[in-house]
Amino acid sequence: MFVETIKTPGIAHLSYIIGNDGEACVIDPQLDTDTYLKLANQHGCRITTVIETHRNEDFISGAKALGQRTQANIYHGPNADEPVSYAQTITEGEQLSVGAWCLEVIETPGHTKDSICVTATDTNASDEVIGVFTGDTLFVSDVGRTDFYPDEKEAMAASLYQSLGKLSALGEQVIVYPAHGAGSVCGGGMADREFTTIGIEQRSNPMLRIADEAAFVAKKVSEYHYIAPYFSRMEAANVSGVAEAMPAQLCAPLLADEQTQWLDTKKRPGMLIDVRSHAAFREQHIAGSINLPGDLLSAYGGWLLDDDTPLALVADHAAQANEAARQLWRMGVTQVAGYVSTIPAALTEQHKRAQSVATVTADTISNRLSNPAKQWVLLDVRKRDEVVSTPFPGALHTFLGHLKDYAAKTHADTHYTCMCGSGARATVAASYLQMLGCNNVDVFEGSLDAWQQASHEVS
């Protein structure tokens, strides 16, 4: 018998394959269906069952694609906002057999109306529940967000409270397998650990320690979560399902004539995304490109990239380009024209095709704050809760995901210094401002971390 966790970088998503005796079930699959097929093959199993624990907002589900490749039965919970055309509805108490595993459904609305959790029992050993796949209902040190139904905030929070009570009743020994880890947009305070137990959560999860339903509801209603603009596209795609599995190779090098077109800011047919490191980008980059390396591509691509606009990538190598293309594919962005892996020497300052981003120290920021220039803006792109917790003196706050909205307020001749918690998101912001045509942009290197290490005070 086995349970394996598949972690998807960028969106901190956790999917699972559980199997025994030649059969396997996949829970909350991604579009990278080859991953599950390889794991099933390694265990000598055939995927017979696919379960979705809820409607996903932050990525396109791979359930339909995996079901078509394996002929597996696909199951989804009741009370979906719209009929899930590719799945069978499964309800409270229904059981599915996967070898000697007995999987039983618990209806757990709250995060969404169709949320379910799935318990797992090894019938070869006993009738006791060993683990529970909790979707976006219960995480490590947090619980699911309940703000996707603005007119029903209190009701959804109350439903989640009652759903968590069902999970608590399973017993403190039960292993919890959540659908997300730290860094996900589906919660705010998740611990950097991928599994836990009911007992550990009862003792250490702040939300499970709230004994009164009214207090729990009040706490959930008071939370603030960002809703990325691409969420609505994900929801729509996941109603009908996406049948096309993710190809192994997603991104090829741009041909010579394509490179010429993409490198020219006047002829460029879309957005150029630089997925190299912040340091490499700041040293030199192609004019008008946006720096979105690593997990930041998944975290902020859905905010900063335009729908249906062709994209090309700047990457250090093919593997980096393909990983970036995979992250985009999970968000429904499939129109990646290709990538360029080196910045041609022909990109001279004379032709304004190459740029750089300067960095400044905490001492420089201190001096600028003491003697502020008329056209200087210290732009803080941290999240709202970060700013509330640790406000920064003299900074103008605009969340990184809202830079599109801020664009109309920018001025080409204003000097912008971008900051965040460490300098990473600040570099993304600087690249976006440069793309907008702002000529004088730099990055507060280390940002808040550097400021505090230099023993400067924050308000």
Q: Based on the number of CB atoms within 10 Å of its own CB, is 19 exposed (0-12), middle (13-18) or buried (19 or more)?
A: buried
Q: Provide the pLDDT for residue 90.
A: 98
Report the C-alpha gap between 118 and 114 in whole angstroms. Answer: 13
Report the C-alpha gap between 459 and 452 in whole angstroms. Answer: 12
Report the C-alpha gap between 343 and 345 in whole angstroms. Answer: 6
Which of 3.40.50.2300, 3.40.50.300, 3.40.250.10, 3.10.20.740 is the CATH number of 256-355? 3.40.250.10
**Does this chain's domain 256-355 share its CATH topology with 358-453?**
yes
Q: Which two tokens stand for residue 443?
A: 């990055």
Write down the CATH number for the domain with range 2-240. 3.60.15.10
Ranges of each domain in the chain: 2-240, 256-355, 358-453
Q: Provide the pLDDT for residue 350.
A: 45
* Residues in the chain, pLDDT under 70: 187, 344-352, 457-459
Q: Provide the pLDDT for residue 37.
A: 98
| Cα-based torsion angle of the residue sequence 225, 226, 230, 236 in order, rounded to the nearest 10 degrees | 30
CA distances in angstroms from 393 to 164, 275, 376, 401, listed in the order given: 41, 31, 14, 22
Q: Please list the residues that pair with 440 across neighbouring strands.
A: 415
Handedness of CA 97, 65, 327, 144 (dihedral sign): negative
Does the domain at 358-453 match CATH 3.40.250.10? Answer given as yes
SS (H, E, C) the chain: CEEEEEEECCCCEEEEEEEECCEEEEECCCCCHHHHHHHHHHCCCEEEEEEECCCCCCCCCCHHHHHHHHCCEEEECCCCCCCCCCCEECCCCCEEEECCEEEEEEECCCCCCCCEEEEEEECCCCCCEEEEEEECCEECCEECCCCCCHHHHHHHHHHHHHHHHHHHCCCCCCEEEECECCCCCCCCCCCCCCCEEHHHHHHHCCCCCCCCHHHHHHHHHHCCCCCCCCHHHHHHHHHHCCCCCCCCCCCCECCHHHHHHHHCCCCCCCEEEECCCHHHHHHCEECCCEECCCHHHHHHHHHHCCCCCCEEEECCCHHHHHHHHHHHHHCCCCCEEEEECCCCCCCCHHHCCEECCEEECHHHHHHHHHCCCCCEEEEECCCHHHHHHCCCCCCEECCHHHHHHHHHHCCCCCEEEEECCCCHHHHHHHHHHHHHCCCEEEEECCHHHHHHHCCCCCC
Tokens 């070869």, located at residue: 124
Q: Provide the pLDDT for residue 348.
A: 52
Q: Which two tokens stand for residue 298?
A: 């998944």
Tokens 């460490």, located at residue: 422
Q: Provide the pLDDT for residue 459.
A: 59
**Could you tell me how many residues make up the chain?**
459
Residue type, 149: Y
Q: Based on the number of CB atoms within 10 Å of its own CB, is 224 exposed (0-12), middle (13-18) or buried (19 or more)?
A: exposed
| Nearest of 100, 118, 98 to residue 108 by alpha carbon | 118
Q: How many CB atoms lie within 10 A of CB 54?
A: 27
Q: Based on the number of CB atoms within 10 Å of its own CB, is 397 exposed (0-12), middle (13-18) or buried (19 or more)?
A: middle
Could you read off the pLDDT of 266-285 as tens digits, one per residue? 889 999 999 999 999 999 99
Report the C-alpha gap between 391 and 384 in whole angstroms. Answer: 10
The answer to whether the beta carbons of residues 433 and 421 sit under 8 Å apart is no
Please give the model's pTM, rounded to 2 decimal places: 0.92
Tokens 């349970």, located at residue: 3
